[in-house]
């Protein structure tokens, strides 16, 4: 597996990481624990060194899964987790608000370390910007954790360019994570230029459009009630039908190269900048192997132009989140 450096931090990771959320949360019933632990270790054997989780995934269960799965290979991997939510004290599956108070950040770090079975968190992201807490206070709290040796690097998720600059002035930001793919290109306007200027790495989550860009779904696809996509505007039957044209065009471009549309979508991201590291998620070894194959797919100028034309010619139907969820991004 090829390696990449996240910005100017010197932090080296595999060119593709593994987003682990779906193993425990958001996409229907959790995967079988034993099978998921095996998949985590298979991923390491296949060359992946970058694993992404968060306290809210489960909640808590995904960190515990990674803690068990990666403990025997902890010295070979980079683990990223996240803080910033107020979890439901009654054990509900979804958070009840934001909480990035410095004292809460430090509490989350301590319990995340225990669940992850490690003495340090390689990357600690603010999962969503909390408008009630100055970002300077957040950066200061993470700086304290870095000085204490509990955290290696500071990250932000779904933050605006101005927020990134303010945070970076207090504690250098190593990496920013936001949704970015062939059907979600919002970061291109302001965030990516800011990251390039400041020397910050970028980690696209949902780089396969929550599975859509693999060609796995059709207008007739039914999602379970506890699957996040069941209520997502891009996964209604009407939206899936309209968006199918994009996948068909990607298949036509990928076919002659012996690739899948998902591999093409990942290779496109890798071709954007050398400091971009996508984190596709999966529960299947076959998909994991397919995704890893994208790291060796070289796209020439003609390929990239054809992909751009495909996106321009097939406008995406549906916004990426529901209205109440969109209110917590790009702050």
Catalytic residue numbers, as ranges: 57
CA distance 221 to 196: 39
Comparing C-alpha atoms, which of 267, 278, 287, 269 is closest to residue 52? 278
Tokens of 142: 């993470």
Comparing C-alpha atoms, which of 40, 42, 48 is closest to residue 3? 48
CA distance 138 to 56: 18
**HEC profile of 3-26:** EEECCCCCCEEECCCEECHHHCCC
What is Dmax (Cα atoms) for the chain?
Answer: 55
Q: Which residues pair with 96 in a beta bridge?
A: none
Comparing C-alpha atoms, which of 69, 63, 5 is closest to residue 36? 69
CA distance 249 to 310: 6
Whose tokens are 């062939």? That residue is 182
Tokens of 76: 């070979």
Cβ 102 vs Cβ 132: under 8 Å? no
């Amino acid at each position: 597996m090829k390696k990449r450096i996240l910005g100017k931090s010197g932090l080296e990771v595999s060119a593709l990481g593994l987003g682990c959320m779906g193993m425990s949360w958001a996409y229907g019933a959790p995967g079988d624990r034993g099978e998921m632990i095996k998949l985590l270790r298979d991923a390491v054997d296949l060359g992946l060194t970058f694993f992404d989780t968060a306290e809210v995934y489960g909640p808590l269960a995904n960190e515990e899964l990674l803690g068990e799965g990666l403990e025997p290979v902890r010295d070979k991997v980079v683990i990223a987790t996240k803080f910033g939510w107020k979890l439901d004290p009654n054990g509900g599956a979804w958070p009840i608000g934001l909480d990035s108070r410095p004292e809460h950040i430090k509490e989350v770090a301590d319990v995340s370390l225990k669940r992850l079975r490690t003495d340090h968190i390689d990357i600690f992201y603010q999962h969503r910007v909390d408008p009630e807490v100055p970002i300077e206070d957040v950066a200061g709290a993470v700086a304290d954790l870095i000085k204490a040796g509990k955290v290696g690097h500071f990250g932000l998720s779904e933050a605006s360019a101005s927020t990134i600059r303010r945070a970076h002035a207090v504690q250098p930001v190593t990496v920013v994570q936001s949704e970015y793919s062939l059907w979600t290109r919002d970061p291109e306007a302001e965030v990516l230029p800011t990251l390039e200027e400041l020397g910050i790495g970028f980690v696209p989550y949902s780089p396969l459009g929550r599975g859509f860009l693999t060609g796995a779904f059709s207008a007739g696809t039914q999602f379970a009630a506890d699957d996040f996509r069941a209520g997502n505007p891009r996964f209604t039957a009407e939206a899936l039908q309209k968006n199918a044209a994009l996948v068909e065009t990607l298949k036509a471009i990928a076919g002659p190269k012996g690739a899948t549309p998902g591999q093409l979508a990942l290779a496109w991201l890798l071709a954007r900048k050398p400091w971009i590291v996508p984190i596709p998620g999966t529960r299947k070894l076959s998909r994991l192997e397919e995704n890893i194959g994208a790291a060796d797919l070289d796209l020439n100028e003609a390929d990239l132009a054809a992909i751009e034309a495909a996106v321009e010619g097939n406008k995406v139907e549906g916004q990426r989140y529901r209205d109440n969820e969109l209110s917590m991004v790009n702050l």
